[in-house]
Amino acid sequence: MNELTALVIGATGATGSALVTQLLVDSRFKSVVVFSRRAVSITHAKLTCHIVDFDNPKLWADLVKGDVLFSALATTLKQAGSQKEQYKIDYTYQYQTAETAAANGVEAYVLVSAVGANENSMLFYPRIKGQLDKAAGALPFKQIHIFRPGFLLRQPDKIRLMEKIGIAIVNGLNNIGLLKSQKPLPVEVLAQKMISVLFKPAASHFQVYSLDAIFDL
């Protein structure tokens, strides 16, 4: 695979912005097409940004054409304002975009999920992540890669106070051999792994990567 067109949603977030930065300097990708509710903060000859209304995907469905869709869209309950709005962003927008990409012949799909994703969870956030993993995983892509990281080490301008506290606690526990499954993962590393899996042999067309597996890639 080379001279690819990458499609990205969630490009203004921590993982998405790291991903776009890496895609733009990767010679295997000839173009990077971003679908976003607002403009991205960078410009590049390879970059095209479409400002779209995720509530009306039919208006821009014909633009979702390329080789691989990277889906890194996410929000928090506080940012969304309600579970209904968080579900719309974390599930509906991502699933509809993936469904459109698959229908348009995009062959590969790379999704950022979350540790503990489980469609049967009693907890809201892991439940919707698990539901998306299952639904998107059933779409007819030739490659599907789902990443389930734990704590993410975001860029200094994007990290939240509670994340700083949580990461400090987890790092301390890691140092004494505890909570290794929650080892903080830099978003730049996650982005690099999301790209690299496209160019590696896989046991099947559908792959899910836990935190340990992400570090081992």
pLDDT, tens only, 152-178: 885 455 555 555 555 555 455 455 554
Chain segment 128-153, per-residue pLDDT in tens: 999 999 999 999 999 999 999 988 88
Q: What is the pTM of this model?
A: 0.88
Burial letters for 61-96: b for 16+ Cβ neighbours within 10 Å, e otherwise? beebebbbbbbbbbbeeeebeeeeebbbbbbebbbb
* Number of neighbouring beta carbons within 10 Å of residue 182: 20
Residues contacting 64, CB < 8 A, separation 6+: 7, 35, 97, 100, 101, 104, 106
Instruction: Read off φ and ψ for residue 169, nearest 5 degrees.
Output: -65, -45
CATH number of 4-155+184-216: 3.40.50.720
